[in-house]
Structure 1
Amino acid sequence: MRALLWFKQDLRLDDHPAVQAGLSAEQLLPVFILDPAQLQLNEFGSRRLGVHRARFLLESLVALDGALRQRGSNLLVVPGIPEEVIPELVERFSLQQVLTLAEIAPEESSQLNRVRQRLGTLPLVELQSNGLFRTDDLPCPVNELPQVFTQFRALIEERLHVFQPRPAPEQLPPLPDGAHELLAGLPTLSQMGLGEPLSVAGSAFPFSGGEIAAQARLRDYLWNTQGVRQYKDTRNGMIGSEYSSKFSPWLANGSLSPRRAVAELRRHESQYGRNESTDCLWAELLWREFFRWTLLRHGSALFKAGSLKATEHAPMQLDERFEHWCQGRTGMPLVDATMRELATTGYISNRGRQVVASYLIMDLQQDWRYGAAWFEEHLIDYDPASNWGNWAYLAGIGSDPQRRQLFNALHQAREYDPEAEYVSLWLPELRHIPQHLRHTPFLLPHLQLDALNYPRLEQIPETWRPYMPHAA
């Protein structure tokens, strides 16, 4: 059997069912396809793949190729459209099957179907993974899963799941004859039309892409520093690399298996004991799983204006306030600092995400889908299920029947950035005004604020009054 192994958002060898299935092949051609459509503007005016995600992707591909080389293989990276590239490679090398992982998002699933149609009778074998559970692992059919997270978690935890991920193989089958002629270097970000991002000392994610970096972070957080044991107390932090696990970027592009992460978490608990912090990390991994099954169940409805509650109405406006939000020029310092960190580094804290998303929807009354698309372009840990599921949840049109999540931005600033350290880090124009005014520069005289070149917030919500400086 001669097979093509199609990598997508699963850039690892550890705990990879398609890799395992390929071990029995006489010849195996590992392939990743760089689809130019990812770089084109979508209906919301954003790219599917921005500069930070692209950098992380290229680093992950270099790491995957290195791991394959160590095992007697290589990664063939080809620009093009999968439904054209894959049949061409199959014909050129007389391959007999295509192995890949199944998809849950509508566009990616449609692409798999187009490839299958072009392959005709040649089998496209989809193996289920990239989540914690396979369909057979669920306690009920997918369409009967609870649509409220707390109920979903309770149902999942009724049975004991023992995760036994399979390690990366020590050796892989050789490439088909002549395949080495097609091997070429990766394009640069500049060649992709994205430019080169600068390294930023204040980044909360100073790590590299790829499976080696993912495994190193897993060991470090669970075993070396045991940062996981303080996770409950630190997870609302906004500065530095250690306030949270930072697993999400590697989980998003598949450099880290969620089953491996949970297996290591359980191993840690068996040695050091379970506590509220390890429970919290488990809950976050379950949230990711909850959104994956929500997407699989509802499909394209999740991406529509009314999302999963067509009878509810989220704001549908789009005006210059959306651009100000994107640029970090709203006049609300915590929001602006978070949005500038996102544009500069491709990563922001979970707390920051909730605040800026709520502010765009509730305070600025803008169309939530444009915010979700902006996140898709810029976040290095973009995952369609978690991103669009969280945005819909905050807009009050997700599957959970609870009311909209309302975040008082100034209250959040006072609680999670009490000394204005975060705001000072990302808004240098505010560093030289008194600390107690850095969250409320709109209280400064007009001439002073103009001299700082910081936008004035014209309307101050009444709900902010209790969190104003006492002197105001």
Structure 2
Amino acid sequence: MRRALLWFKQDLRLDDHPALQAGVDVECLLPVYVLEPSQLELGPLGARRLGVHRARFLLESLAALDGLLRQRGSHLLVLQGSAEQLLPQLAERFNLQEVLTLSEIAPDECQRLDRVSQRLGPVELRELPNNGLLRTEQLPCSVSELPQVFSQFRELIEQQLHVYQPHPAPEHLPPLPAGVEKLLGPLPTLSQLGLGEPLSVAASAFPFAGGETAGSARLRDYLWNSQNVRQYQQTRDGLIGSEYSSKFSPWLANGCLSPRRIAAELRRYEAQYGRNDSTHGLWVELLWREFFRWTLVRHGSALFQAGGLKATARAPQQVDQRLTHWCQGRTGMPLVDACMRELAATGYMSNRGRQVVASYLVNDLQQDWRHGAAWFEEHLLDYDPASNWGNWAYLAGVASDARYNHLFNALRQARQYDPEAAYVSLWLPELRHVPQHLRHTPFLLSHLQLGALNYPRLEQIPEAWTPYLPSAA
């Protein structure tokens, strides 16, 4: 019988896991996760691939995965180093004939798979279907023929009825290879990784833990227990609290939840309680995720270039002190600063907030959008290459969408989505004692007043903000 290694990456679950299913009948199975130190180093755009909040969520997810494996007679081996060096060494040491893993779509991850495959030599690297909703054979046309505008993509996909039948986690797993016990040890801590421990923030909109168990509990609660999914369309643009949106994205990004499981549960819920605009709205968000994934498959590394998918687009490419102020939440525009402070403190930000801060960086501050995308990559719990870079390219006007750019009036957004300035007050304590009607426009205060608050002054007020300034100003 075959002896196999199961290589976990961003697929930290047992439910609906094609590579795991392919390994249930082998003689012995070695589950492995490789934490690569290069992820913690600064990249060319000035940010790390893995920041403290993402690392915390990752370690929680690995601990949860190990617990689920132990319940089934197995264990998770977590190693630090290079996958192309460690995996061949394990295969040789324990006489393993194949490595099972999920396929990848992002260029860097695909190249890593190629390097591992080359180093494995005669040991087969089997790539199973990845974390997408649809597989290539389920598409209504070839990848190159898929619409490059979301509305058309959605219409095409929704013309076909897809029945999602995710495979549940097996009850038992093959034993570990003999001698592996010597390699098993505790997970590294954030401090050992050089990241330090993040403070717990009571106001976090994502007060949840990483891991499949927590993700599955959230899925049950949002759909079946609280049924908050029925109000999703009315609450999705909220800024405060854990219930204004599903919050599935961090578990999806780390592979703790399968998108096919979410789709199947959503269909089951609609069959029992009926479909409404909100349940359909959640489905559309799954399709957005899918759209960005196939966009990445089609265009590859072009998505990460300054000109994005439009080589002729004129997206700003300058980087100066304004980028630093944006990262620090010190631009002088309260809604933008509140969103960026929330991100730094918790690793999360609302969908509405992401659109506002991205548009502000590109259109108001005229900074290179790729640096914003890289900052999000370091900090966002739900960082996913396709969705993150696809959304940023979309906001910067260098995606496939026909429009040049997507300009958000930040002050109008503040008035509409934070009318009582509750969100700004939550994340910008220095403005809490400013009269409520001025909390979105502290730049109207005198230099003396603003200086006493230790809040930066916005030197130039966009003309488009004029209709949304306080009437007394």
For 1:106, the aligned partner's letter is P
Q: 1: CA distance between counterparts of 2:321 and 2:285?
A: 34
2:315 aligned partner: 314
Q: What is the deviation of 1:158?
A: 1.1
Q: 2: CA distance between counterparts of 1:457 and 1:467?
A: 16
1:374 aligned partner: 375
Q: 2: CA distance between counterparts of 1:316 and 1:347?
A: 26
The DSSP-based 3-state class of the residue aligned with 2:31 is strand
Q: 2: CA distance between counterparts of 1:325 and 1:41?
A: 18
Q: 2: CA distance between counterparts of 1:316 and 1:159?
A: 41
1:122 aligned partner: 123
Q: 2: CA distance between counterparts of 1:180 and 1:276?
A: 52
The DSSP-based 3-state class of the residue aligned with 1:100 is strand
* Segments of 4+ moved more than 2 angstroms: none
Deviations 1:89-133 (A, max 9, x none): 000000000000000000000000000000112210000130101
Q: 2: CA distance between counterparts of 1:256 and 1:57?
A: 13
Structure 2 matches for 1:246-395, cutoff 5 A? 246-395=247-396
1:81 aligned partner: 82
Structure 2 matches for 1:132-211, cutoff 5 A? 132-211=133-212
For 1:140, the aligned partner's letter is C
Q: 2: CA distance between counterparts of 1:350 and 1:282?
A: 16
For 2:110, the aligned partner's letter is S
For 2:228, the aligned partner's letter is G
Say if 2:104 and 2:130, in contact at 8 Å, map to a contact too: no
1:431 aligned partner: 432
Structure 2 matches for 1:401-416, cutoff 5 A? 401-416=402-417
Q: 2: CA distance between counterparts of 1:454 and 1:204?
A: 24
Deviations 1:122-163 (A, max 9, x none): 210000130101101101111110000011011111110000
1:26 aligned partner: 27
Is structure 2 residue 29 aligned with structure 1 residue 40?
no
1:56 aligned partner: 57
For 1:70, the aligned partner's letter is Q
Q: 2: CA distance between counterparts of 1:398 and 1:120?
A: 39
For 2:394, the aligned partner's letter is Y
Q: What is the deviation of 1:401?
A: 1.4
Say if 2:91 and 2:123, in contact at 8 Å, map to a contact too: no
Is structure 2 residue 465 aligned with structure 1 residue 464?
yes
Q: What is the deviation of 1:24?
A: 1.3
| Count of paired positions | 472
1:222 aligned partner: 223
Q: What is the deviation of 1:242?
A: 0.1
The DSSP-based 3-state class of the residue aligned with 1:28 is strand
Q: 1: CA distance between counterparts of 2:280 and 2:272?
A: 15
The DSSP-based 3-state class of the residue aligned with 2:182 is helix
Q: 2: CA distance between counterparts of 1:317 and 1:323?
A: 12
Q: 1: CA distance between counterparts of 2:405 and 2:245?
A: 25
Q: 1: CA distance between counterparts of 2:359 and 2:54?
A: 23
Q: 2: CA distance between counterparts of 1:68 and 1:218?
A: 21
Deviations 1:433-459 (A, max 9, x none): 100000000000110000000000000
For 1:315, the aligned partner's letter is P
Q: 1: CA distance between counterparts of 2:130 and 2:113?
A: 15
Identity of aligned residues (%): 76
Q: 2: CA distance between counterparts of 1:363 and 1:407?
A: 9
The DSSP-based 3-state class of the residue aligned with 1:124 is strand
1:10 aligned partner: 11
TM-score (structure 2 length as normaliser): 0.99
2:94 aligned partner: 93
Q: What is the deviation of 1:330?
A: 0.2
The DSSP-based 3-state class of the residue aligned with 2:78 is strand
Q: What is the deviation of 1:403?
A: 3.0
Q: 2: CA distance between counterparts of 1:462 and 1:402?
A: 22
Q: 2: CA distance between counterparts of 1:461 and 1:45?
A: 29
Structure 2 matches for 1:416-427, cutoff 5 A? 416-427=417-428
For 1:186, the aligned partner's letter is L
Q: What is the deviation of 1:56?
A: 0.1
The DSSP-based 3-state class of the residue aligned with 2:54 is helix
Q: What is the deviation of 1:63?
A: 0.1
Cα root mean square deviation, aligned:
0.4
The DSSP-based 3-state class of the residue aligned with 2:296 is helix
The DSSP-based 3-state class of the residue aligned with 2:126 is strand
The DSSP-based 3-state class of the residue aligned with 1:204 is coil
Q: What is the deviation of 1:402?
A: 2.2
Q: 2: CA distance between counterparts of 1:231 and 1:111?
A: 38
2:232 aligned partner: 231
The DSSP-based 3-state class of the residue aligned with 2:200 is coil
The DSSP-based 3-state class of the residue aligned with 2:134 is coil
Is structure 2 residue 401 aligned with structure 1 residue 400?
yes
Q: What is the deviation of 1:400?
A: 1.3
Q: 2: CA distance between counterparts of 1:402 and 1:232?
A: 25
Deviations 1:403-462 (A, max 9, x none): 311100000000000000000000000000100000000000110000000000000000
Gaps spanning 5+ residues in structure 1: where?
Answer: none
For 1:309, the aligned partner's letter is K
TM-score (structure 1 length as normaliser): 1.00
1:242 aligned partner: 243
For 1:26, the aligned partner's letter is E
The DSSP-based 3-state class of the residue aligned with 1:266 is helix
